[in-house]
Amino acid sequence: MGTPISHVLNEWKVKTRSLSQKLMKDWRRKKHPNFRVDVVHMDENSLEFDMVGIDAAIANAFRRILLAEVPTMAVEKVLVYNNTSIVQDEILAHRLGLIPIHADPRLFEYRNLGDEEGTEIDTLQFRLQVRCTRNPSAAKDSSDPNELYVNHKVYTRHMTWVPLGNQADLFPEGTIRPVHDDILIAQLRPGQEIDLLMQCVKGIGKDHAKFSPVATASYRLLPDITLLEPVEGDAAEELSRCFSPGVIEVQEIQGKKVARVANPRLDTFSREVFRNDMLKKVVRLARVRDHYIFSVESTGVLPPDVLVSEAIKVLMGKCRRFLDELDAVQMD
């Protein structure tokens, strides 16, 4: 099976190898000749693409890998030097662990089980040191905490990266940071202080949800909407209102309003049309069984296209390992 790699929370993973290009071509040609991937929309944190001509098992495996097996960096240990806020130490540590960290996990190694001290190849450190004081220039009759106090809200922008070893030379300024600088961590009052050190390590969502690189990763089947007979006049307008905007288009043809299916992928399958006794007889709703519409929303730790690419590599490695095990069994 290979050499196990210990993970942070006593979970285990097996080393994998990438699937060969020859094997990938044979698989595609013989089993899924019509397989294709079409990117529909992509921005900084989200990606929508169509995966066509594939089995449901493979599509679902891909989704689960995105959720649980693509590694990221997250806060694992919190060394609390001083915490006089109302938030207990363990609750504060839990909140810090859920903060997405902008760092490329491919540049780091997994920390070995039992290692107490991190190194520059497996650990990132952040310092959080905030003390709340009164604002001497605040108006005497003011009751607004934002005016009365200084640093009374602790945000992720207060987290300072502390380079280990040669990390300062490897990573430009601004590369290692929380994804968002406006996440509220705690609230303080004058005299209260938070002073702690955070250690981030590499892990996967299978170990803990804080390592999951996606806010959501899901798929749905492409709707297939067929009009069994022409729908005209007021019935066309009524049919359009039974679906999501843009699904049914009403056109003027020779002075008549005629309904046609414009964009079925916008439909949410509310099945509202079946509440209409007249229209339910002229519409057939189905789904294309091998056309999957994937939606991937990154937490911001990596671009969504990189997450998809890494998930494909993990899936390829699993296939390669499975074939190696089959070969080993046959040889025995």
In the DSSP assignment, the letter for residue 111 is: P
Do the Cβ atoms of 276 and 242 come closer than 8 Å?
A: yes
For residue 28, pLDDT over 60 is answered with: no
**∠ CA 323-327-332, rounded to 5°:** 150
Give the pLDDT confidence score for residue 254 in this predicted structure: 84
CATH number, domain 72-203, options 1.20.1260.10, 3.40.120.10, 3.40.50.620, 2.170.120.12:
2.170.120.12
**What single string gives the DSSP state of each residue in 38-61?**
EEEEE-SSEEEEEEES--HHHHHH
* Length of the chain counted residue by residue: 332
Do the Cβ atoms of 184 and 154 come closer than 8 Å?
A: yes
Give the whole-angstrom CA distance, residue 70 versus residue 261: 39
Average predicted confidence (pLDDT) for the chain: 89
- Confidence band for 13, pLDDT divided at 50, 70 and 90: very low
- Confidence band for 14, pLDDT divided at 50, 70 and 90: very low
pLDDT digits 0-9 by tens, 50-68: 999 988 999 999 999 999 9
Mention every residue, 6+ apart, whose C-beta is less than 8 A from residue 152: 132, 145, 146, 187, 188, 189
Give the pLDDT confidence score for residue 112 in this predicted structure: 86
**What single string gives the DSSP state of each residue in 212-237?**
--EEEEEEEEEEEEEESS--BTHHHH
Q: Where are the domains of the chain?
A: 4-70+214-219+291-331, 72-203, 229-281
Who has greater pLDDT, 300 or 254? 300
Give the pLDDT confidence score for residue 106 in this predicted structure: 94
Query: What separation, in Å, do the N-terminal and C-terminal C-alpha atoms of the chain show?
Result: 15
For residue 39, pLDDT over 80 is answered with: yes
Give the whole-angstrom CA distance, residue 285 versus residue 200: 49
User: Which of 243, 237, 161, 149 lies closest to 197, judged by CA?
Assistant: 161
Residue 31, SS3 per DSSP: helix
For the chain, the C-alpha Rg in angstroms (whole number) is: 27
4-70+214-219+291-331: CATH number: 3.30.1360.10
- Confidence band for 90, pLDDT divided at 50, 70 and 90: very high
Q: Do domains 4-70+214-219+291-331 and 72-203 have the same CATH topology?
A: no
Who has greater pLDDT, 30 or 86? 86
Share of the chain above pLDDT 70, in %: 90
Give the whole-angstrom CA distance, residue 214 versus residue 297: 6
In the DSSP assignment, the letter for residue 202 is: E
pTM score, two decimals?
A: 0.81
pLDDT digits 0-9 by tens, 216-269: 999 999 999 999 999 999 999 999 999 999 999 999 888 889 999 999 999 999
Residue 130, SS3 per DSSP: strand
Give the whole-angstrom CA distance, residue 319 versus residue 317: 5
- Confidence band for 20, pLDDT divided at 50, 70 and 90: very low
